[in-house]
Amino acid sequence: MMEKLNTVFRYQINRDGLTVEELLRDDWKAGKKTVHQMRMDKAVTDTAGQPFEWRTPLEAGTELVFHFKDAVSSYKPDDHADVSVLFEDEHLLAALKPADIATHPDEHDEGGTFMNAIMAYVERSGGAYAEHINRLDKGTAGIVLVAKHPIAKALFDRMIEERAITRIYHAEVDGRLKRMRGTLQYPIGRDRHHPTRRRVSPGGQDAITRYRVIERNDESTVVEASLETGRTHQIRVHFSHIGHPVKGDTLYGGSETEDGNYRLVAKKVSFKHPFTEEQTTIEVI
């Protein structure tokens, strides 16, 4: 097995007077546990390996080197499937999850999921850390974002919570939608009569899905849907609620498909990259 990489990434300070502590705590808002552990490990050094004093103001252009010697993920590497990488840098990778596998195992010693294949891919590059940022249902295909170090995980998780990542889906739903575009704003909660199903419920969490019609067929409609919120099964629940369930989604009343998968694809994500500050768009062509 290849030696695990200790150094994960380098970063240049972008303004005079910034300290390591301010960068992590205020700019990146990394979790307290992560920041504390990095301080204890003297995990931020200069290019010669000398640790920085965390409260010393630094000049713009100063290069920091971040080390994560104990940052590992417990997913079992499993080469059961090829990994189709759409985007990758030292902080993040985005890959295409097929529609017939789960995003992650229920137990970390299990295999056969998207994250097991990702872990094998990361280990081949000498890495040891990979954690998914978003997840897709087993029957849904599309883009899954994966953090390559703990700070990226903390930042992208926060961006999901603050709705700073735009997520676009394409779905084929049963029936012919009358309106060319619309907003579905129905709260979603658990269905107490089923262990995994969700339902529109007055006491549920706010959920907003915007859509526009791309194509109308005799018995179905293809829509582009964007999520304002990220509730479990949100698109599936919302379109089922208005009488147009996703094809293949028999849990919510959709018609059956030959392969048993949903006609639902996570098509595009876009965001301002928290490290490079570049507007980044990743899309399934």
Q: Which residues partner with 224 through β-bridges? A: 170, 212
From residue 265, alpha-carbon distances to 5, 86, 91, 177 in Å are 34, 15, 24, 19
**Catalytic residue status for 26:** no
Q: 3-class DSSP state for residue 40?
A: helix
Q: Which of 259, 210, 255, 258 is nearest to 235 (CA)?
A: 210
- 280-170-213-227 Cα dihedral, nearest 10 degrees: -60
Per the document, the length of the chain is 285
Question: d(Cα 233, Cα 199) in Å, to the nearest integer?
Answer: 9
Catalytic residue among 41, 137, 191, 206: 137
Question: d(Cα 165, Cα 172) in Å, to the nearest integer?
Answer: 23
Residues serving a catalytic function are: 137
